[in-house]
């Protein structure tokens, strides 16, 4: 069984459309979070004065922390899909240039390509992984999104009437590092695993 060149070209075009779609969603997620975090830091003192209950600032910071975490997870997921569609476009370009239209041979070529990508991503160093601008954007957003965690720790310690400045600073730094490390690890994991998934768009089996 064979497939036509026109069919593969149409799938290639769809890959490019999905790439643009993922980039648009990424930009929207970043813009949304920057608006939220700007409002958060710009109006924090005012909002704190309006909140009557002593527990309200804690709840407010918990909500912002949840939004921060969901944003980073969203960006990591979109990056994973972006890489999958980019790889799909690359392999389609490769098989089209080689005039591979026999379905069995085509599937073997696609499988071989993704196997090599999986090996490449698993061996990729952190420096190389974050050499691209899109991965660095996620890293920067992760660093920024950790600050509400610091504010949450500060509010909890204030509620508990902890006054030791050294202890407060230590706990704030610890929770910030744990938060950043957790989402940093998840981002790396999703990037590495993006080559493990042959997207539906090039699944011709």
Q: How confident is the model over 156-186, as pLDDT tens digits?
A: 999 899 889 999 999 999 999 999 999 998 8
pLDDT band at 199 (very low <50, low <70, confident <90, very high): confident
In our burial notation (b when 16+ CB lie closer than 10 A, e otherwise), range 68-91 reads bbebbebbbbbbbbbbbbbbbbeb
Mean pLDDT is lowest, of 54-58, 70-74, 123-127, 147-151, for 123-127
pLDDT band at 198 (very low <50, low <70, confident <90, very high): low
Q: For Cα atoms 170, 173, 176, give the angle at the middle one, nearest 5 degrees.
A: 145
pLDDT value of residue 69:
95
Q: What is the CA radius of gyration of the chain?
A: 23
Mean pLDDT of the chain: 87
pLDDT value of residue 75:
93
The CA-based dihedral angle spanning residues 84, 85, 91, 92, taken in that order and rounded to the nearest 10 degrees: 160
pLDDT band at 197 (very low <50, low <70, confident <90, very high): low
Mean pLDDT on 35-43: 90
**Distance from chain centroid for Cα 190:** 8
Instruction: Look at residue 146 and tell me whether its pLDDT is greater than 80.
Output: yes
Is the pTM above the cut of 0.75? yes
Instruction: Look at residue 195 and tell me whether its pLDDT is greater than 70.
Output: no
Mean pLDDT on 116-130: 78
């Amino acid at each position: 069984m064979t497939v036509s060149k026109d069919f593969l070209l149409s799938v290639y075009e769809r890959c490019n459309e999905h790439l643009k779609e993922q980039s648009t969603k990424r930009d929207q997620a970043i813009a949304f979070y920057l608006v939220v975090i700007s409002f958060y830091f710009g109006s924090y003192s005012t909002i704190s004065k309006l909140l009557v209950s002593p527990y309200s600032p804690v709840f407010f910071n918990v909500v912002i922390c949840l939004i921060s975490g969901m944003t980073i997870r969203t960006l990591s997921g979109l990056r994973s899909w972006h890489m999958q569609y980019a790889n799909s476009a690359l392999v389609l370009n490769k098989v089209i240039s080689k005039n591979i239209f026999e379905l069995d041979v085509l599937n073997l070529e696609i499988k071989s390509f993704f196997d090599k990508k999986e090996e490449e991503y698993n061996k990729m160093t952190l420096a190389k992984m974050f050499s691209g601008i899109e991965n660095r954007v996620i890293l920067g957003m992760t660093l920024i999104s950790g600050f509400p965690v610091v504010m949450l720790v500060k509010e909890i310690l204030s509620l508990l009437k902890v006054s030791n400045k050294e202890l407060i600073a230590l706990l704030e730094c610890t929770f910030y590092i744990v938060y950043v490390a957790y989402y940093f690890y998840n981002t790396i994991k999703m990037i590495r695993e993006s080559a493990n998934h042959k997207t539906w768009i090039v699944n011709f089996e």
